A and B are shown apart, each in its own frame.
Chain A
Amino acid sequence: MADTLQAVGPFAIPQADKRARLFERLHALTAQHYAHCAPYARMLDSLHADWRAADSLEALPWLPVGIFKHLRLASIPDEQIVRELRSSGTSGSLPSRVLLDHDTAANQTRALARIVGDVLGRARRPMLVVDRNDLLRSGEALSARGAAVLGFGNFGRQHSYALKPDLSLDLDAVRDFVTRFADEAVLVFGFTFVVWRDLVQTLRSRGERLAFPPGSIMLHGGGWKRLTDQQVGNSQFKQAVAEVLGIEQVHNYYGMAEQVGSIFMECGAGRLHTPDYAEAIVRDPISLAPLPLGSTGVIQLLSDLPGSYPGHSLLTEDIGAILGEDDCPCGRMGRALRVDGRLPRAELRGCSDTRAA
């Protein structure tokens, strides 16, 4: 789609200007999805009846992100669907289903390239994927993890995988990778928990230390829940990666399968940045009223990428705060964000054993 905002980005537009442009674009997207996705139109008519009168980003209608676990929502005819993404979901819950057409998939890829390029530069680096080496071989619908590896894989070359199909560490492969590219900065990519458990902790427990080449960068995302459960925070994570792998530049990113391409990358100052075509709003977890900068609440994510499904405005179940606007020491424009984790799961009390989704 020619009119997405990403032609400008990815972190260049000052907040006031960005808000105005995004609002216009997202309001139009709402109308587009309303016209082409009947269940979405029914949800707006019933629950967000005044959506047409929205006059700010905060007033735009949203969907709870969990709705994609239950409904197959598309704003395109089935024959235009080129890919279906499925989130892995937390254990015991249903996966989300996200339907992409060619344009949305292409926009996602382009958007991701701009954001990641902002951190990595233009050159493709040798890339170590911290995941099972058969992840992309299993057919079916693409898992969110597979989609991320595929998406981020574009930014590397000569890919190696750090894990065997049973998720055990393939130490020979990792050693071989480090030896092979001893003289050039590489890219290490993986899911936060997988990197921590299957690479960092495994190396630690074996007393192994590796020396990745200077200038190497690690990108990781996918959520902190299981690390928070183990009381491991971002600084501890970075310290451990530096100690065990010798990688000093570690960037976490925040994003979700329901808005692929729209990711929030951690800068050198440790803040997650909203790209020009996306926005984060923090709301009171009980009243849902928008909160001022600095206040902690549930995160709403806006993105102008989802053209094939009505996922451009999602109320997440993640908790965080907006840290600032246009004022990060790293120089990036727009809002910077902190993500603290997820709402706890509500307790189940029913007579039925069936687990709620």
Chain B
Amino acid sequence: MDLILPHRADADARAQIDGLGERTLQAFDTRTLAFLTDFSTRLLQDHALRSAPELVALGYWFRPAAVEVLRQRHARLAASGVLRPRGVVFHVAPANVDAVFVYSWFLSLLCGNRNIVRISRRDNAHRATLLQLLADTLAAHPHIAACNAVLAYERDDAISAELSARCGLRVVWGGNETVAHFRRIPLPPLATELVFPDRQSWALLDAASLINADDDTISRLASAFHNDAFWFSQQACSSPRAVVWIGATTQVAQAKNRFWQAVREELARRGETPDASELANRLVAAHRAAAAGDVKPHGSLSDWPLRLDADTFTPELRGGHCGYGLFYEITRAHLGDTRDLFVAADQTVAYFGFERAALTDWVQTLPDRAVDRVVPIGDALRFGDCWDGHDLLMAFSRHVVIA
């Protein structure tokens, strides 16, 4: 077990964890706010991280004005009493996405918790820079540093059990396998658990709106869709993998042509080119899909993005999806005809061409657990303090009733 943050002279992970018990913080503690302001400023000024949009977004997310909005919302949540910390929160971070562990950790910190964060050793592009920046910031905020421990260790149930035994809340990111694994490791009676298993996401487009939109709108839509679908190689749980088109068949055909042409132009504008290894992955995914049921390629198998027409987004299509620019396209005449498409694992629907009121009605027709976010195309990957159906400010707190 290695202590990654904060940097300590003795690098003693256990001493750092033991020390957490002696510290306390209030929700939206002034020391936390000062730390986050410092972190946000350093991150947004870091030239090396400019090229990582997900980290720039992280910097904006914790800038003072945004934190103030969170503070006000936190205050309103405690209408019939007061929100208090849960104590020590143990976060298990996903391996492939750099920024997620910071959101989970800092939101919990804002709620007044002390934190143990397990991160992966897998080397991502900006990992070292981000960790150095966090280390420098923590060094300037000794109380915050003493309230947190970021660790790395190989899969080791004894360590996970020891850390779980110390926490009041365990937060597990990283998919079904990781969730299932941690579920077997006991928690203290008073502790609770928040888990983030595998999810899938959609784009929802209204054909008529797309046909009627002006060219500017379409270019902006293509750019927004690019951010949703092509960042993280289309492998984030919020990345749209299936596209539902709403409209009459001829309208949809026309809308598809216009939309995908704009997406191809956007890819060209950004200088992005197809990759042979990603194509190999798409070919396997497409063949798995075809073996399981009826799909029809739109164009050639070597196309990027690769579009496959399907009737529904079946478990086989979901399970075999590889990312890298593969889209299952489904057509329905009316928004109301889509109920059967959605399942509990569906998380985000990124839309274009619908009114909020219509979407509100529509969401209430879906199966109970299906769909946790309905956001405009372009916002699919934007982290929110309500995630996977949980209000994180609430989940990271206890509601103390004062009557």
Query: Would you call A35 an interface residue if the criterion is a C-beta within 8 Å of the partner chain's C-beta atoms?
Result: no
Cα A43 to Cα B289 with chains together (Å): 8
What is the distance, in angstroms, from B52's C-beta to the closest C-beta of chain A? 12
Q: Is the CB of A286 within 8 A of B274?
A: yes
Contact with A along B85-118 (1 / 0, CB 8 A): 0000000001111001000000000000000000
Query: Would you call A344 an interface residue if the criterion is a C-beta within 8 Å of the partner chain's C-beta atoms?
Result: yes
Query: Would you call B19 an interface residue if the criterion is a C-beta within 8 Å of the partner chain's C-beta atoms?
Result: no
Cα A351 to Cα B290 with chains together (Å): 26
What is the distance, in angstroms, from A87's C-beta to the closest C-beta of chain B? 15
Cα A354 to Cα B323 with chains together (Å): 14
Q: Is the CB of B276 within 8 A of A46?
A: no
Query: Would you call B291 an interface residue if the criterion is a C-beta within 8 Å of the partner chain's C-beta atoms?
Result: yes
Cα A347 to Cα B122 with chains together (Å): 12
Query: Would you call A102 an interface residue if the criterion is a C-beta within 8 Å of the partner chain's C-beta atoms?
Result: no
Nearest CB in chain B to that of A350: its residue = B235
Q: Is the CB of B175 within 8 A of A348?
A: no
Residues of B within 8 A of A45 (CB): 290
The residues in B between 149 and 203 inclusive whose CB is less than 8 angstroms from any CB of A are 173-178, 196, 198-199
Query: Would you call A66 an interface residue if the criterion is a C-beta within 8 Å of the partner chain's C-beta atoms?
Result: yes
Q: Is the CB of B287 within 8 A of A352?
A: no
Cα A133 to Cα B371 with chains together (Å): 56
Q: A39-B291, A349-B96 are in contact. Are A286 and B302 (CB under 8 A)?
A: yes
Query: Would you call B277 an interface residue if the criterion is a C-beta within 8 Å of the partner chain's C-beta atoms?
Result: yes
Q: Is the CB of B96 within 8 A of A348?
A: yes
Q: Is the CB of B301 within 8 A of A350?
A: no
Q: Which of A40, A67, A349, A351 is the one whose CB lies under 8 Å from B284?
A: A67
Q: Is the CB of A349 within 8 A of B232?
A: yes
Query: Would you call B393 an interface residue if the criterion is a C-beta within 8 Å of the partner chain's C-beta atoms?
Result: no
Query: Would you call A178 an interface residue if the criterion is a C-beta within 8 Å of the partner chain's C-beta atoms?
Result: no
Q: Which of A66, A344, A351 is the one whose CB lies under 8 Å from B97?
A: A351
Of the four ranges (under 10, 10 to 19, 20 to 34, 35 or more), the interface on chain A belongs to 20 to 34
Residues of B within 8 A of A272 (CB): none
Query: Would you call A180 an interface residue if the criterion is a C-beta within 8 Å of the partner chain's C-beta atoms?
Result: no
Q: Is the CB of B291 within 8 A of A42?
A: yes
Q: Is the CB of B277 within 8 A of A353?
A: no
Q: Which of B280, B290, B293 is the one whose CB lies under 8 Å from A66?
A: B280
Q: Is the CB of B301 within 8 A of A288?
A: yes
Q: Please count how many residues in chain B sit with their CB below 8 Å of the partner chain's CB atoms.
A: 50
Q: A67-B284, A354-B175 are in contact. Are A343 and B94 (CB under 8 A)?
A: no
Q: Is the CB of A356 within 8 A of B288?
A: no
Residues of A within 8 A of B274 (CB): 286
Q: Which of B278, B279, B301, B322 is the one whose CB lies under 8 Å from A47?
A: B301
Cα A215 to Cα B109 with chains together (Å): 73
Nearest CB in chain B to that of A342: its residue = B277
The residues in A between 35 and 73 inclusive whose CB is less than 8 angstroms from any CB of B are 39-40, 42-43, 45-47, 63-64, 66-67, 69-71
Query: Would you call B236 an interface residue if the criterion is a C-beta within 8 Å of the partner chain's C-beta atoms?
Result: yes
Q: Is the CB of A351 within 8 A of B100?
A: yes
Cα A216 to Cα B286 with chains together (Å): 47
Q: Is the CB of A349 within 8 A of B97?
A: yes
The residues in B between 229 and 264 inclusive whose CB is less than 8 angstroms from any CB of A are 232-233, 235-238
- Cross-chain pairs A/B with CB under 8 angstroms, 14 sampled: A42-B290, A43-B291, A64-B284, A66-B283, A70-B288, A285-B276, A288-B279, A343-B276, A350-B237, A351-B173, A352-B175, A352-B198, A353-B95, A354-B176
CB within 8 Å of A: which residues of B?
94-97, 100, 120, 173-178, 196, 198-199, 232-233, 235-238, 274-281, 283-284, 286-297, 300-302, 320, 322-324
